[in-house]
Amino acid sequence: MASQKFFSIVLYAFVFAAFATTALSSLSPNYYDYSCPKALSTIKSVVAAAVQKEYRMGASLLRLHFHDCFVNGCDGSILLDPSPTIDSEKNALPNFQSARGFEVVDAIKEAVDEACGKPVVSCADILAVAARDSVVALGGPTWEVKLGRRDSTTASREAANANIPAPFFSLSELIDNFKSHGLNEKDLVILSGGHTIGNARCATFRDHIYNDSNISPHFAKELKHICPRKGGDLNLAPLDRTAAKFDSAYFGDLVHKKGVLHSDQELFNGGSTDSLVKSYSHNTKAFHKDFAKSMIKMGNIKPLIGNRGEIRLNCRKVN
């Protein structure tokens, strides 16, 4: 009888430990339900106000999440400012003078910490939810964001330069890059569809409009008014014809050789991704549905969970 009771206690302890380990080692959409039930609604309200004030901010928050996840997983490392111990990813070539939205993240963090009564929501989770809410605010799909990421205590400009897809990449380079992050060709096309909102700097598309042949001559001429051969590096052009709306116009533009970036037009240039681009160009509903799935997949790239990392008090610096 005593041995049976002892066995029951041991079994209970084992099951409890296994449950606790599982809870600490996985993401969950309900992660903050008890520690801060107002977290998600607070993030949504701050993002909605920011996007209403300036639609480009929605694209900026989405891009920050992309660039964060593509470096060393979705760990908030892109938010860290330079310091004696931090080689900030903000200074990497894909981000320098391009990455925006940091002030909005700061505002979200302040509002969420106030709503929670203490810092319990990570900056990485804030960025993941803000990206989703930005897409929704601009007419795109919603999806269930799994939460529980912790914040990185390091950053790497070198890793950002090496891992964030460049605007001059060929299709094969894009495919290899996405594959290295556990994403396939379909994810590549779908997530590139995030370019249906926002703008690109002249410096990122100058070579495409002056040197490439796979671009509509009339469209290239329009862009040359924005982007001269010399100077004007920071001049902006919309990434598709409805850059303030999360629709499938981006894909239609590619079909008509009106991709702003070289890497965009590579998705419809006689290669393996042409059929997907053409399909999404006339099926916004399918694009929205698949975009949500790929965003969930991307958001789960190597998150810091359990006791790794930290919950930053300030998204710009380690504790």
- 268: CB partners within 8 A, 6+ apart: 251, 254, 255, 257, 259, 274, 277, 278
Query: Cβ(160)–Cβ(63) under 8 Å?
Result: no
Query: Is 68 annotated in some ligand binding site?
Result: yes
Q: Which residues pair with 151 in a beta bridge?
A: 310
Q: Tell me which residue of 317, 315, 319 sits closest to 112, measured CA to CA.
A: 315
Query: Cβ(278)–Cβ(189) under 8 Å?
Result: no
Query: Is 240 annotated in some ligand binding site?
Result: yes
What tokens appear for 106 in the block? 């700061």
Amino acid at 5: K
Distance CA 174, CA 197 (A): 20
Q: Tell me which residue of 152, 106, 110, 144 sits closest to 128, measured CA to CA.
A: 144
Query: Is 106 annotated in some ligand binding site?
Result: no
Distance CA 201, CA 224 (A): 12
Query: Is 73 annotated in some ligand binding site?
Result: yes
Catalytic residue (one of 65, 67, 208, 288) = 67
Q: Is 67 a catalytic residue?
A: yes
Query: Is 71 annotated in some ligand binding site?
Result: yes
Query: Is 195 annotated in some ligand binding site?
Result: yes
Query: Is 65 annotated in some ligand binding site?
Result: no
Query: Is 101 annotated in some ligand binding site?
Result: no
Query: Is 165 annotated in some ligand binding site?
Result: yes
Query: Is 247 annotated in some ligand binding site?
Result: yes
Query: Cβ(246)–Cβ(252) under 8 Å?
Result: no
Q: β-pairing, 236-238 with 199-201?
A: antiparallel
Query: Is 173 annotated in some ligand binding site?
Result: no
Instruction: Pick out the residues of the known binding site for Ca(2+).
Output: 68, 71, 73, 75, 77, 89, 196, 240, 247
Binding residues: 68, 71, 73, 75, 77, 89, 165, 195-196, 240, 247
Annotated binding site for heme b: 195
| Residues with catalytic function | 67
